[in-house]
Structure 1
Amino acid sequence: MRMGYKEPFYKKPLRVRDPVHGFIGYDETEERVINSPVLQRLRGITQLAMTYLVYPGARHTRFEHSLGTMHVAGKMARQVGLSEDEIKLVRLAALLHDIGHGPFSHVSDVPMAVLTKEAGTLPEGVKPEKIHESITLSILLERHEWWKGVLGEEHRKRAAAILADDDMRKKYKLKEEQPILKEIVSGPVDADKLDYLLRDTLFCGVKYGVIDIERIIDCFVPFERGDERWLAVRFDGVVAIEQLVVARYQITRQVYAHRVRRIAEKMLQRAILDAKDKDEEIHTLFSFNPQEERWWKTFLKSNDHWLMSRLEAVATRYPESTCAKMSERLAARRLLKEVYAQYISRLPWGYSDTQSFFETPEQRKRMEKKIAEELGVDEALVIVDVRELKNPLHRSPEPRREGKIIVIDRNGRDQRLEDMKDSLSEKVKVESEKNVYVYVPVDESDREKRQSLYKEYRKVVEKIVERFHE
């Protein structure tokens, strides 16, 4: 007698294999969210934007990072003894935390802030640099039709309350959740950081972000103050936490702030800003307007490939445009070169005058024009870039509890990590500083001639920048 196949008596577990954490399990609710267009869109958005131009393996996306963050958040929640309902809520918030990102992740933030401000459509209470977080909340709380049969309104409201800052929580009249839930998802030592440090390290092929995640999670404890519960660390976990702080510092300098990444991202932003008046869909996406259905339709289909296709179309129609020049260089990896880099505080102008100058786009444009004239290069290919490199090792003088790593000593007393005697954070006093960089084309195929031209450009640019106030 032929035996037919029979379904096993047990239910097959829902899980996916992840290169960082091994198997990541999920329940049926999480499965529906994962399979929704909102989450699937993240498969097309790289985690580190154009970092793959310097670290070729950095092609991982916001999608797998979201799964990893959910996994780590669940482990942290169980470690500190949260209820099953709270664990489910924290995992959902972690899974959904990045759904508002535009193409190439944070690269979209600058052009979206610029164009939204120009259009006058920035929602009340939303800071330009926090638009992607506002989009996340709008998706959860306003796009009800996107969630039919996927996730109930109560779950969405509570997840949004964990992800929202105080202003957005008031705007949407969300009930405040326990601080410990928010800190697991978005705090000084959260699931987001624990996942991206390991994931970015793996795919970039570097060792700077290596952390002992199991030891770190094992040292988490709940800390109660009145009716509030916070996330804290046992005293014997300080070394593991300091390892994480150092890892963030090192990977920031070697990966996130790498000059090739900075240059490529500024070139892409220039291409986007130039294309805004040449492509209707690009203008629509980067002029954030949650009141328009058209904006949401454009957002839902947008990803890295969509953006590059739109920019290539603009380049074809306008071959002499800045968009065309930048897009062609990015496609061929013929990037601009960094010929000047300096701390703003070290320029001989007086710090306050220098800082205010570089924060003004019109003044940076003047400097770009002057540099282009002196070097005899195309002004469209000169970029003066100003950015702040945050130092996670710096001891902040801010005394407030929120945003600080709390350590519980042998006697059950709490103190901030940076206040502990002999701790790494106590020893480091270097503040974060703003830096100015200048990128220009150095188009010479012969290596020796290129090096000679680079040195010549660097001397000219240094003189222009440091004497520009005269």
Structure 2
Amino acid sequence: MKGAEDPYQGRGLIADPIHQYILYTRPGGIPGEATEQDLIDTSWMQRLRRVPQLQSARWVYPAAEHSRFQHSLGAMHLAGRFAKQLYPSLRAVFPDAPSLALIEELLRTAGLVHDIGHGPFGHFFDDNFLVDYELTHELVGQRIIREELAEILRSLRRSPSGAFAAGESIDPEWICYLMGKTYTQPLESHPNWLPHLKPLLSGVFTADNMDYVLRDSYMCGVAVGPIDIDRIIYYSFFSERGLTLDRAGLQAFTMFLNARFYMYTNVYYHRTTRGIDLHLKEIFRDTMRIAFPYDLRKELHPYLHLTEWTLLEDVERWHDDEDPAKRALGAEWRHVLDRKLKWRMSSEEVLDQFEARKGQSFLDVETVKRRVRTFLPTALRDVPFEIDMALQDPRPLNPLKMGDRQIYVYDSSTKNVSEEPLTEILKYLPGKVAQCRIFAMTHEHDAELARALRRALNEEPSAISTNV
């Protein structure tokens, strides 16, 4: 191009229904560099196309067929927007902070790979398979980053906004720290500005949860009310204490938390979704012993080929298998795949907790189940039923003690930065919620099961069966 450098060299656009267009880097900018396209086109990232975002909720909301891959691109985009908004204040707090381009690319790549360790059925896979190996999808993801993606990450040299400063590069361990909820302490070798970025990937409002609330509600066709992410981003900055929100952004922040709360209550924890999960729990571990006989603490490569697509393609043929164990599991999977529900909700009780109280916690499932059976009429005590306790944290239970996820509020009238205003702002939103549901195979005894559940949650069974 005569007279000017090609402005599109090394950059491209991805069309997206939520963010319209997502800018990304591609080869052609700096000789010998790696780019976001190289990262996106790895087998590990492409695998996420075959890991649906909404696990069992897809059987409730027919249009919700989007994947972890699409969500990861959206999280990358929002992380980059946060970087550009926050960089001037980061540099003011840490004059030795690296270039805008490096901070932007660090947050973008952390957003892109934050879900790379997810398996089939998402968080259900964590709770019903990975937990047996003392793993989570984040720990698996961190291993993938260190062992499979580190070379590309270290070779990145620019963001969509421009090139890094001379000699700058991204340490993959920084990304592992930013995306890990249990990775609460940075290493001594980590730069002093890195913990300030942590709440953007593992906090109350993040590039991750802001994208999934927008994307999941859109793809499900669920109206959650206004979600003003532009206002939240605009009023975010770094103070010396950490990620800070100007008071002018607080209403948008609380609207977002309410929208997220609604999505958990009505989509992620929909009664039919949880009923399907109860059925899956009965067969999942036995299924995985056959379908994936590997220990992920030792063997990582087989995980590349384990997706929801491969698992469902495998199990849907088992009902015709010669092996009796496979055939029995296949019959159960056939019911799941054909959406023939085994468990149907009889009743629901919603429990909430607004503030931390010493010794207070929700009852565990087995305790509730035992109490329900005690309160059922004698003739119904052998009726099959299941208790499901869907737990969520709509906001921090104690907004003043959020650890490495702490955020702050700036009051321009007093020039004060403090976490104290969060207590007042969030007091009308519960800190913990449990949707306690009782499921049965038919609706024949719904009334009796509902009464027994209500009593189980509100009455203490007598310890002595006679008068004393």
TM-score grouping bracket, smaller chain normalisation = 0.7 to 0.9
Choose from 365, 388, 413 the match for 2:391.
Answer: 388
The answer to which structure has the higher helix fraction is 1
Contact 2:76–2:111 (Cα < 8 Å) also in 1 = yes
Contact 1:42–1:99 (Cα < 8 Å) also in 2 = yes
Distance 1:78 1:40, change over 3 A: same
Choose from 98, 117, 120 the match for 1:103.
Answer: 120
Residue 325 of structure 1: how far off its partner (Å): 5.0
Contact 2:296–2:303 (Cα < 8 Å) also in 1 = no
Verify: 1:27 aligned to 2:21, yes or no.
no
CA distance in 1, matches of 2:394, 2:175: 30
Contact 2:25–2:36 (Cα < 8 Å) also in 1 = yes
Contact 2:386–2:440 (Cα < 8 Å) also in 1 = yes
Question: Which stretch shifts more, 57-66 or 216-225?
Answer: 216-225
Q: Which residue of 2 aligns with 1:61?
A: 67
Residue 353 of structure 1: how far off its partner (Å): 11
Verify: 1:17 aligned to 2:15, yes or no.
yes
Contact 1:315–1:323 (Cα < 8 Å) also in 2 = yes
Choose from 102, 105, 109 the match for 1:92.
Answer: 109
Verify: 1:257 aligned to 2:269, yes or no.
yes
Distance 1:409 1:439, change over 3 A: same
Choose from 132, 139, 150 the match for 1:134.
Answer: 139
Q: Which residue of 1 aligns with 2:201?
A: 185
Distance 1:139 1:173, change over 3 A: farther
Residue 239 of structure 1: how far off its partner (Å): 1.6
Q: Which residue of 2 aligns with 1:399?
A: 401
CA distance in 1, matches of 2:328, 2:460: 28
Choose from 405, 408, 428 the match for 2:410.
Answer: 408
Work out the number of aligned pairs and report it. 416
Contact 1:271–1:322 (Cα < 8 Å) also in 2 = no
Contact 1:275–1:314 (Cα < 8 Å) also in 2 = no
SS of residue in 2 equivalent to 1:26: strand
Residue 69 of structure 1: how far off its partner (Å): 0.5
The gaps in structure 2 that reach 5 residues or longer are 1-5, 27-34, 89-99, 156-168, 464-468
Contact 2:246–2:410 (Cα < 8 Å) also in 1 = yes
CA distance in 2, matches of 1:401, 1:345: 23
Distance 1:468 1:273, change over 3 A: farther
Q: Which residue of 1 aligns with 2:91?
A: none
Identity of aligned residues (%): 25
Contact 2:348–2:435 (Cα < 8 Å) also in 1 = yes
Question: Which letter maps to 1:341?
Answer: E
Contact 2:121–2:308 (Cα < 8 Å) also in 1 = yes
The gaps in structure 1 that reach 5 residues or longer are 1-7, 117-121, 123-127, 443-449
Q: Over residues 233-279 of structure 1, what are the superposed CA-to-partner deviations in whole Å (9 max), with x where a residue is unaligned? A: 122112211211221222222212211121122322322123245x1
Q: How does 1:134-213 map to 2 (within 5 A)?
A: 134-141=139-146, 143-144=147-148, 152=155, 154-165=170-181, 167=183, 178-208=194-224, 210-213=226-229
Q: Over residues 405-434 of structure 1, what are the superposed CA-to-partner deviations in whole Å (9 max), with x where a residue is unaligned? A: 3111114311226446xx541x42644244
CA distance in 2, matches of 1:307, 1:365: 37
Q: Which residue of 2 aligns with 1:244?
A: 256
Contact 2:345–2:438 (Cα < 8 Å) also in 1 = yes
Choose from 270, 287, 292 the match for 1:282.
Answer: 292
Q: Over residues 157-191 of structure 1, what are the superposed CA-to-partner deviations in whole Å (9 max), with x where a residue is unaligned? A: 22223223565767997666522322222222211
SS of residue in 1 equivalent to 2:222: coil
CA distance in 1, matches of 2:361, 2:24: 52
Distance 1:469 1:215, change over 3 A: same
SS of residue in 2 equivalent to 1:339: strand
Verify: 1:219 aligned to 2:235, yes or no.
yes
SS of residue in 1 equivalent to 2:250: helix
CA distance in 2, matches of 1:261, 1:453: 21
Residue 302 of structure 1: how far off its partner (Å): 1.1
Contact 1:338–1:438 (Cα < 8 Å) also in 2 = yes
Question: Which stretch shifts more, 49-58 or 151-160?
Answer: 151-160
Verify: 1:308 aligned to 2:312, yes or no.
yes
Give the TM-score taking structure 2 as reference length. 0.76
SS of residue in 1 equivalent to 2:74: helix
Distance 1:260 1:418, change over 3 A: farther
Question: Which letter maps to 1:26?
Answer: Y
